Amino acid sequence: MDTIIEVTDVSKSYGGVIANKDISMQVKKGSITGLIGPNGSGKTTMFNSIVGYHPINSGSIKFEGKEISKLQVPQIARLGLLRTFQQTRIYGDMNGVENMLVSQPHRKMSLRDAFTKNKNEDYERADHLLEFVGLYEKRFLQSGSLSFGQQKLLEFAMALMNEPTCLLLDEPTAGINPTLINGLIDRLQRANSEFGITLFIIEHNMRVIMNMADHIYCLAHGEMLAEGNPSDIQNDQRVVDAYLGAH
Amino acid sequence: MTMARPLFYAALLIFIVVAPFIFPDFRTQLATLWLMIIVALTWDMTGGQMGYNSLGNIFFYGTGMYVCAVVGIGIAHPVAEYTNASGGGIYKFTNTQYFLGAFLGILAAGIFCALCALIIGYFTFSLRGPYFAIGTLGVAIAAGELVSNWDFVGGGQGIALPVYPNDLDQGKLFFYFLFAITGVVLFVFLNWMYKTRFGAAINAIRDDEEKAEAMGIHTLRYKLTTWAISAFFVGVVGGISAYQLIHFEPLETAYQTINLGIFMVVCVLLGGKGTLWGPVIGAIMFHVFKEVTWNYFLGWQWVALGALIVVTVVYFQDGLMGWLKHTKPEWFGIRVESTSDEGAK
Ligand SMILES: Nc1ncnc2c1ncn2[C@@H]1O[C@H](COP(=O)(O)OP(=O)(O)OP(=O)(O)O)[C@@H](O)[C@H]1O
Ligand SMILES: [Mg+2]
């Protein structure tokens, strides 16, 4: 498999706090890759660096072979590298369908395309994806009035609407009702297998990530602690210690 | 029910056309009302729909006046000598020169202001919230000062444009319709634009700009485009005002930051930000209020206006439309409760 995201020796500090130190990792095209680590270990910082949210101190980040560490957030998103937020972000005043429609890919959308109305197939795709995440019944509700978990699902559907090649998910199951988690795992896997979207997932729920991921990276105190397939990681004493030691 | 809307718009259009004939004494008033509606609608494009509260839109009004005057005079006479001689009276304009000058001037005003918005926006759109408001206000104040010291355009004296060549009452009609046509075109355009993907994208920028960026929306491009369109229309009405007022001064009339510059914001707040009809209704409410206080409470008019602003900002922030949206969400197709979900897109 080809590498789709290649991070090489990336460091990022906030003032005195070194949040990421010489991190290197690869995400394979078509894979589901996990990123774990105790609270404050630098996972979200890594995602923010990848999507261009802040400048990095040193290192290189490549997406599909192209250096992206100097690009702006919208430019990177238009390349097909998308992220969802740990603190879920949707457009609260819009309803579900409107949220979906405004999330259409802007890669090929010229200014003139923008000055057109949505087509029937856009509405159909929006409905289809809302159905896919189980929000079809709620699609006309003002999305700010949805529950946190439903907003999380909506944000996921919006990301799919954008047709990314690679999707970075920051704790997709946080706040989701445990009985719905299996359904969400299933949808994530189908996004990967049916839509062919590479997934890079930050997750605290070990059951979820061990179930899904092909490969896992584990951070601790801003440094790469371990990497490997789920069973390697599960049996790695350093990982167990990091999690226990963190609490 | 489906016929109600076209009928309403047709009736409205007829009213717009006949109003200056039914109320011939109020032609200038009605023209000013259109001016208020237009500056309110354009202010709302960025302030209400996109979440960027500009206090500097008056810059486009003033600049539109000057560009229009310079072009309108320039097609007939050397501008510097004209302004040096304080304009009107000495230099004659033929009818053709008058109308051609006005037409080209108004058009040039719109285009020039749109370009200004692109340039100013490129630097100020990195500012958020109050910083953007103050930054744009600074531009308008600075421009007023610069222009009032620029002799080419008459310095602090301002410029006197030629008087309407035919009958004066006809002139009032002429300006009424210039404003009215601009206003109708703007309204129809916005009614359409807010339903396009572009309209949805600028709403997304307002609701959460970081999210919009993360979704790949061309945020800067859209912000610049919105402001440029808005500035075009403000420039155009600035140009029309220049010809309507005949004589204008840089600080009192053109770059009148504390009058029109603030009034446009108050109109939008009164009527309701981020709605199509809010600015229109707000402008009407404001204009009526202002005229009544100016006529019946002379001496207290500014106090009354100040009180109106305070009450609006403190108790009535979402304006009339916002209040209706809140109390009657179903009128706007907003649903919060999870009961039924019939109805298609
Ligand atoms: N904007 C910021 N300014 C200053 N320090 C920050 C900022 N963002 C993160 N940090 C610090 O960087 C470190 C890593 O934070 P980060 O959010 O990347 O952790 P995380 O692994 O995502 O944690 P969690 O599992 O709790 O989400 C923490 O010490 C945090 O306090
Ligand atoms: Mg985090």
Distance CA B11, CA B113 (A): 33
Give the distance (Å) from ligand 1 centre to CA of residue A50: 15
In chain A, what residues touch B214 (CB-CB under 8 Å)? 51, 53, 73-74, 77, 82-83, 85, 89
Residue type, B202: I
Mean pLDDT for chain B? 90
Give the nearest chain B residue to A117 (CA atoms). B196
Question: Which residue's C-alpha comes closest to atom 26 of ligand 1?
Answer: A39
- Interhelix angle B260-271/B58-74, nearest 10 degrees: 130
Task: Give the residue with greater pLDDT, B213 vs B309.
Answer: B213
Nearest CB partner across the interface for B201, out of A83, A102, A117: A102
pLDDT at B201: 97
Asked if A79 and A68 count as a contact pair (C-beta separation under 8 A), the reply is yes
Query: Which residues neighbour A143 within 8 Å (Cβ) at sequence distance 6 or greater?
Result: A90, A91, A92, A94, A95, A96, A99, A151, A154
pLDDT at A83: 95
pLDDT at B340: 43
Question: What is the DSSP secondary structure assignment for residue B248, as one 8-state letter?
Answer: E
Nearest CB partner across the interface for B221, out of A93, A97, A111: A111
pLDDT at B87: 56
Distance CA A55, CA A173 (A): 28
Bridge pairing between strands A66-67 and A223-228: unpaired
Task: Give the residue with greater pLDDT, B4 vs B340.
Answer: B4
- For B264-291, what is the mean pLDDT? 93
Nearest CB partner across the interface for B204, out of A82, A83, A102: A102
Query: Is B203 in Cβ contact with A77 (below 8 Å)?
Result: no
Asked if B234 and B42 count as a contact pair (C-beta separation under 8 A), the reply is yes
Asked if B197 and A102 count as a contact pair (C-beta separation under 8 A), the reply is yes
B72 to each of A208, B64, B211, how far by Cα in Å? 71, 12, 46
Task: Give the residue with greater pLDDT, B192 vs B79.
Answer: B192
Query: Is B336 in Cβ contact with A142 (below 8 Å)?
Result: yes
Asked if B35 and B239 count as a contact pair (C-beta separation under 8 A), the reply is no
Q: Is the pLDDT of residue B337 over 80?
A: no
Asked if A202 and A171 count as a contact pair (C-beta separation under 8 A), the reply is yes
Indicate which atom in ligand 1 lies nearest the CA of residue A20: 14
Query: Is A115 in Cβ contact with B193 (below 8 Å)?
Result: yes
Angle at CA of residue A215, ends A210 and A219, nearest 5°: 85
In chain A, what residues touch B207 (CB-CB under 8 Å)? 91-94
In chain A, what residues touch B343 (CB-CB under 8 Å)? 140
Indicate which atom in ligand 1 lies nearest the CA of residue A204: 25
Asked if A152 and A88 count as a contact pair (C-beta separation under 8 A), the reply is yes
Torsion of CA B65, B68, B69, B73, to 10 degrees: 180
Query: Is A111 in Cβ contact with B216 (below 8 Å)?
Result: no
- Residue of A91, A146, A167 for testing the chain B interface, max B β-carbons within 10 Å: A91
Query: Is B198 in Cβ contact with A114 (below 8 Å)?
Result: yes
Token pair 């990982």 in the structure block, residue: A239
Q: Is the pLDDT of residue B339 over 80?
A: no
pLDDT digits (tens, 9 = 90+) for B158-178: 999 999 998 888 999 999 999
Residue type, A167: L
Residue ranges of chain A whose pLDDT lies below 50: 246-247
Angle at CA of residue A220, ends A214 and A226, nearest 5°: 40
Q: Is B345 on the interface with A (CB under 8 A)?
A: yes
Query: Is A117 in Cβ contact with B196 (below 8 Å)?
Result: yes
B91 to each of B131, B171, B337, how far by Cα in Å? 45, 20, 69
B179 to each of A143, B11, B72, B290, how far by Cα in Å? 40, 19, 18, 19
Query: Is B335 in Cβ contact with A140 (below 8 Å)?
Result: yes
Distance CA A166, CA B303 (A): 59
pLDDT digits (tens, 9 = 90+) for B229-242: 999 999 999 999 99
Query: Which residues neighbour B76 within 8 Å (Cβ) at sequence distance 6 or greater?
Result: B91, B93, B94, B97, B101
pLDDT at B89: 63
pLDDT at B70: 96
- Residue of B50, B197, B336 for testing the chain A interface, max A β-carbons within 10 Å: B197
Mean pLDDT for chain A? 92
B163 to each of B95, B123, B245, how far by Cα in Å? 11, 39, 9
pLDDT digits (tens, 9 = 90+) for B66-117: 999 999 999 988 888 888 776 556 788 899 999 999 999 999 999 999 999 9
Bridge pairing between strands A32-36 and A215-220: parallel
Q: Is B216 on the interface with A (CB under 8 A)?
A: yes
Ligand 1 proximal residues by C-beta, below 6 Å: A 14, 17, 19, 37, 39-45, 86
For residue A170, what are the β-bridge partners? A202
Nearest CB partner across the interface for A98, out of B196, B200, B222: B200
pLDDT at B341: 44
Question: Which residue's C-alpha comes closest to atom 30 of ligand 1?
Answer: A40
Phi, psi of A23 (to 5 degrees): -85, 135
B253 to each of A20, B50, B102, how far by Cα in Å? 57, 28, 18
Helix, strand or coil, per DSSP, at residue B276: coil
Give the distance (Å) from ligand 2 centre to CA of residue A38: 9
Phi, psi of B113 (to 5 degrees): -65, -35
Question: What is the DSSP secondary structure assignment for residue A136, as one 8-state letter?
Answer: G
Q: Is B208 on the interface with A (CB under 8 A)?
A: yes
The ipTM, to two decimals, is: 0.92
Query: Is A101 in Cβ contact with B200 (below 8 Å)?
Result: yes
For residue A36, what are the β-bridge partners? A218
Nearest CB partner across the interface for B341, out of A51, A89, A137: A137
In chain A, what residues touch B341 (CB-CB under 8 Å)? 137-141
Phi-psi region of A52 (alpha: psi -120 to 50; beta: other; left: phi over 0): left
Distance CA B30, CA B295 (A): 16
Residue of A11, A12, A17 with the most ligand 1 atoms within 8 Å of its CB, for mutation? A17
